[in-house]
Amino acid sequence: MPKKANKSTTQFKNFVPYKPKKGEEYMNDRQKDHFRAILGAWKAELMEEVDRTVSHMKDEAANFPDPADRATQEEEFSLELRTRDRERKLIKKIESTLELIDNDDYGYCDSCGVEIGIKRLEARPTATLCIDCKTLDEIKEKQERG
């Protein structure tokens, strides 16, 4: 049975935090390579989960005579597929983030244009807003929902 929805969508394994050198320019080639590596590893990990789910669903698919057992299996598969769908969307976001790196647009806030920051990007490599704009965005969203 594959791992249940794990923290692979929010945490990155085996990466060394970037240590900028004194006077180093923001989003230089070394930094871009650092984030390409993080994003590439994250994408590969998500793709492995997809493969694992497909083989699990093939191996575990059974026609249980008991309706409760069948319902349990269908619910389990449904939850797995929902998780994989979220990860599929995340893979697309990772790919678009990799394009931003290639186009030299990565690491800058979409809203105000300031540097997002290395530490924030290491925490959330697909971030497109600086912490201030993201906070304002969340406040607006909370106000709209009531």
Position 120 scores a pLDDT of 96
**Residue 1 to residues 27, 35, 79, 89, 141: CA-CA distances in angstroms?**
41, 32, 14, 23, 38
Kindly report, residue by residue over 42-56, the tens digit of the pLDDT.
999 999 988 888 787
Do 36 and 93 have their domain in common?
yes
Q: What's the one-letter identity of residue 9? A: T
Position 11 scores a pLDDT of 54
Do 114 and 89 have their domain in common?
no
Mean pLDDT of the chain: 88
Residue 59 lies in a domain: yes
Position 119 scores a pLDDT of 95
Position 13 scores a pLDDT of 65
How many Å is the Cα radius of gyration of the chain? Answer: 19
Residue 60 lies in a domain: yes
Position 126 scores a pLDDT of 97
**Residue 8: band (very low, low, confident or very high) from pLDDT cuts 50, 70, 90:** very low
pLDDT higher than threshold 80 for residue 141:
yes
pTM: 0.80
Closest CA to 41 of 4, 15, 7: 15
CA gap 13, 11 in Å, rounded: 7
Do 89 and 140 have their domain in common?
no
Mean pLDDT of the region 110-129: 96
Position 89 scores a pLDDT of 96
Residue 3 lies in a domain: no
Residue 82 lies in a domain: yes
Take residue 49 and report the two structure tokens written for it: 């989960």
Do 85 and 113 have their domain in common?
no
Residue 19 lies in a domain: no
Mean pLDDT of the region 93-101: 98
**Residue 105 in contact with residue 134, Cβ under 8 Å?**
no
Mean pLDDT of the region 118-131: 96
pLDDT higher than threshold 50 for residue 9:
no
Domain span holding position 49: 25-106
